[in-house]
Structure 1
Amino acid sequence: MMKLEGMAAFVAVADAGSISEAARRLGLAKSVVSERVAELERLLGASLMQRTTRKLTLTVEGELFLHRARRIIRETAEAQAEITERRGSLGGPLRLAGPTGFGMLHLGRMLNGFLALHPAIELSLDLDDRFIDPAAEGYDAVIRHGPVQDTRLIAKRLATSRRLLVAAPCYLDRHGIPASLEELRQASAILYSNRAADWRFRSDEGETVLRPRARLRVNSGIVMRDAALAGLGIALLPTFFTHEHLASGALRQVEVGAEAESAELHVAYVRNRTASAKVAALTDWLRAEIGTPAYWDR
């Protein structure tokens, strides 16, 4: 009879790309993982992997079986979690993804408290600034900063995210303080490269889109903030990146008579899956931790 532990070992090796790395992630000896995969192959009567001294690749049979094995393991974990939840407690695996900068500065700390409250939950957290597809990549939920336009997803708002133009005093002393959108066009801009480089503003005259001259393009909000602190230019950043530096005076807000377009933080999950009690509890916890208004905007 096929064992779940064999399928779990196979999936871990496929994800990790090597038996030794899979063993490290599973907390098992390399020989144990290797034997579990070998036993699975014997039961199936097929080779699932091609092993060489330099790399490990899946066979055609391995690629086919991997999809099924992932689904079986996920559904088993969900069934175990459902039983636990019916008993009045939260437990089992919870796979979550979120943006890197927000995760490092805020999300990690908030999750520590959530896990202390629910010690039976086994959390896997991946931080990545790209827009992760929870349906395709097997996440229970994702934290997303920005619009959720995928109709396959249900999004629960956590907080509104204000964005401000910021610069270091040394930059403003050297180059002057832009007082209007027209003057802002001439500034050295620090831009986020994962999205369109437009800066969007609202004022009494309507909406304005600026495409400033880029001094730096980078796909990290933290690196953008640090570049602004170093005096390289003006950055348009969420206040959850800059609130402490604005309070200390290390950064100053640049006011140009118009308000920058805001964004929102969401928890999103796949529409055709019922939101688990763990995801609902996590959403409530994050909303309470962030507060209204968000603690970084108070």
Structure 2
Amino acid sequence: MMRTEGIVTFVAVVEGGSISEAARRLRLSKSVVSERLAELEKTLGSVLVHRTTRKLTLTEDGLAFLERARRITREMEEAVTDMSERRGTLAGPLRIAAPVTFGRMHLGPALYPFLCRHPELELTLDIDDRRVDAVSDGYDAIIRHGPIADSRLVAWKLAPSRRVLVASADYLERSGIPRTLQDLEGHRGIFYTNRGIADWRFQTTGGAVIARAKLAMGMNNGDMMRDAAIAGLGIALLPAFIAGPAIKDGLLREIEIDHQPEQEFIFMAHPQGRTPPAKLRAIADHLKKAFGNPPYWDPNPAL
């Protein structure tokens, strides 16, 4: 007889990319994960995964079985969710991905009291600045700052996110204070590499315009970008949720030029085609209230 735990394990192995990652997600030992996968293959009479020391590769039978396995796993999770909702409780597993700095500074503190009030929720929060694929990586939702380009996702706005040009007082004394988009071209910039050097987009009457400064440093983490700006390396375009405390403490100065950065938002996005469970909607509603509009982290929301 085919065991559902084997199907769940197979999906976790595929989505995690390894036995080790599947074991971490399922909170099991690697030996248990391997045993469950082997038992499923024995029951089906077919090898589903080729195992090497470096990676796992799906066989043709594995590819054919994967979509059914995912559907079975999803339906089991939805059944558990449905029963808990009938009891008026929020329960069961959820897996959400979020960027590092926002997760540490704002998402975590907002979620902790919610999870205390709903102890039957089993939330796995993956903190990573890379652009994860919510569909193929098996997430129920992702938290993202900035545009959502993936058409397979349905996005909910959690909060507006104003971005600000900032630099240290020392840098501005040495290099001068820019007043226009054109002035920025003569300055050194600290850029977020996950978006590239074309990230400095500003609103004009003719549409979006990209400002290009000289590359002082590029990195894929907002905390380090803020710290590089504080150290006087150049100008950074940062979300207010990162720069706000440093501006309030006098470590960074907000720079006002003749145009505003393009408006952005904090989103929660879930895969299209799936009915989002009530627990996901409840978390989204809670986060909206916790962040506020304008959000509490913005030192000057009127701009």
Give the TM-score taking structure 1 as reference length: 0.88
Distance in 2 (CA, whole Å) between partners of 1:97 and 1:87 is: 28
**Cα RMSD, aligned residues only:** 2.6
Q: Are the counterparts in 2 of residues 184 and 256 from structure 1 also a CA contact under 8 Å? A: no
What are the ranges of 5 or more consecutive residues in structure 2 without an aligned counterpart? none
Q: CA deviation at 1:133?
A: 4.1
Q: CA deviation at 1:2?
A: 0.6
- Listed as ranges, the matches of 1:44-83 within 5 Å are 44-51=44-51, 56-83=56-83
Distance 1:180-1:15 versus aligned 2 partners, 3 A rule: closer
Distance 1:206-1:243 versus aligned 2 partners, 3 A rule: same
Summarize deviations over 1:145-188 as a string: whole Å, max 9, x none. Answer: 12235454332211111111101122122222223333222010
Aligned residues: 298
Q: Are the counterparts in 1 of residues 191 and 217 from structure 2 also a CA contact under 8 Å? A: yes
Identity in percent: 52
Q: Are the counterparts in 2 of residues 48 and 58 from structure 1 also a CA contact under 8 Å? A: yes
Q: CA deviation at 1:243?
A: 0.7
Distance 1:45-1:294 versus aligned 2 partners, 3 A rule: same
Distance 1:61-1:294 versus aligned 2 partners, 3 A rule: same
Distance 1:247-1:2 versus aligned 2 partners, 3 A rule: same
Q: Which residue of 2 aligns with 1:285?
A: 286
- Listed as ranges, the matches of 1:177-188 within 5 Å are 177-188=177-188
- Listed as ranges, the matches of 1:166-205 within 5 Å are 166-198=166-198, 199-202=200-203
Bigger shift: residues 148-157 or 214-223: 148-157
Q: Which residue of 1 aligns with 2:8?
A: 8
Q: Which residue of 2 aligns with 1:238?
A: 239
Distance in 2 (CA, whole Å) between partners of 1:192 and 1:139 is: 24
Distance in 2 (CA, whole Å) between partners of 1:40 and 1:217 is: 46
Distance 1:239-1:61 versus aligned 2 partners, 3 A rule: same
Q: Which residue of 2 aligns with 1:157?
A: 157
Distance in 1 (CA, whole Å) between partners of 2:52 and 2:274 is: 40
Distance 1:23-1:178 versus aligned 2 partners, 3 A rule: closer
What are the ranges of 5 or more consecutive residues in structure 1 without an aligned counterpart? none
Q: Are the counterparts in 2 of residues 94 and 121 from structure 1 also a CA contact under 8 Å? A: yes
Distance 1:83-1:177 versus aligned 2 partners, 3 A rule: same
Q: Which residue of 2 aligns with 1:250?
A: 251
- Listed as ranges, the matches of 1:111-126 within 5 Å are 111-126=111-126
Q: Which residue of 2 aligns with 1:267?
A: 268
Q: Are the counterparts in 1 of residues 16 and 137 from structure 2 also a CA contact under 8 Å? A: no
Distance in 1 (CA, whole Å) between partners of 2:106 and 2:79 is: 31
